[in-house]
Amino acid sequence: MEPILCWPDPTSPEVVKPLEIAGIEWHSTGDESVASQRTWSGAIIDATNDPDGAFLFARGIRKPDVGLAPVLLLVRGNQIADLASRHELFDDFCVAPFHPIEFEARLIHLLSKEGWHTADQEILLYENLALNIETYQASIEGKPLDLTYMEYELLKFLAMNPGRVFTREALLSRVWGYEYYGGARTVDVHVRRLRAKLGEEHAGLISTVRSVGYRFGTSRWG
């Protein structure tokens, strides 16, 4: 993976820390000409303190002869209205102050659209869901999910097998382990809690297959 180009220089610690934790190489600059000097995986532009400079830099790296993408723009809540006429300058934005998990999830989701693979960072992505296998953290649309250990393990197992249907007994043995003596109701309870935490809009990620069990995501058979 090529490094991420960050503006301004120096880059804010709030940006640097999640990048380094995720193992993503980065380089900070205040000069738009740097964008054309090598290949970059994308760019992070922090407009929270100097929006005019940020938009000027964004225009520079979006010129046809550079065309750097994707671009993640960092803004404050009171700056969102200023983005209405500038959509061509960025691919996604994140509102500061942001949680490191949200920032990492948004960036990785953006990079994955460009064909970047996250195996080294141990990030599992499915649509707007992101699971950090290494840190046991999860987020949906960049918002952190407060999951118990077993809720996370169940969600991870299902997300690693999209489209497949598992019986409650299979989930008990694969997620809880053969030594677990709890009944099938344990699975139902955890699925219900997961759906509640995913929110109404995303609860359908885990669907019930009548008389069989549960399926995550969409079956390839439609």
Check: CATH 3.40.50.2300 for 4-126? yes
Same fold flag, 4-126 and 146-216: no
For the domain with range 146-216, which CATH number is right: 1.10.10.10, 3.90.550.10, 3.30.230.80, 3.50.50.60?
A: 1.10.10.10
Q: Record the tokens describing residue 31, joined without a space.
A: 């000069």
Could you state, in order of their start, the residue ranges of all structural domains in the chain? 4-126, 146-216
Read off the amino acid at residue 43.
Answer: A
DSSP reduced 3-state for 26: strand
Q: What is the rounded distance in angstroms from the CA atom of residue 41 to the CA atom of residue 2?
A: 5
Task: Tell me the pTM.
Answer: 0.56
Q: What is the rounded distance in angstroms from the CA atom of residue 54 to the CA atom of residue 4?
A: 16
**Residue with the two structure tokens 């000097």:** 37
Percent with pLDDT over 70 in the chain: 91
Q: What is the rounded distance in angstroms from the CA atom of residue 154 to the CA atom of residue 28?
A: 39
Which pLDDT tens digit goes with each residue over 38-92?
A: 889 899 999 999 999 999 999 999 887 788 889 999 999 999 998 988 989 998 8
Closest by CA position to 124, among listed 153, 100, 90, 92:
153
Question: How confident is the model at residue 185, as a pLDDT?
Answer: 86
103 near 75, Cβ under 8 Å? no
In the chain, which residues have pLDDT < 70? 1, 113-121, 178-182, 219-222
DSSP code, position 103: H
DSSP code, position 218: -
User: For residue 139, what are the β-bridge partners?
Assistant: 130, 144
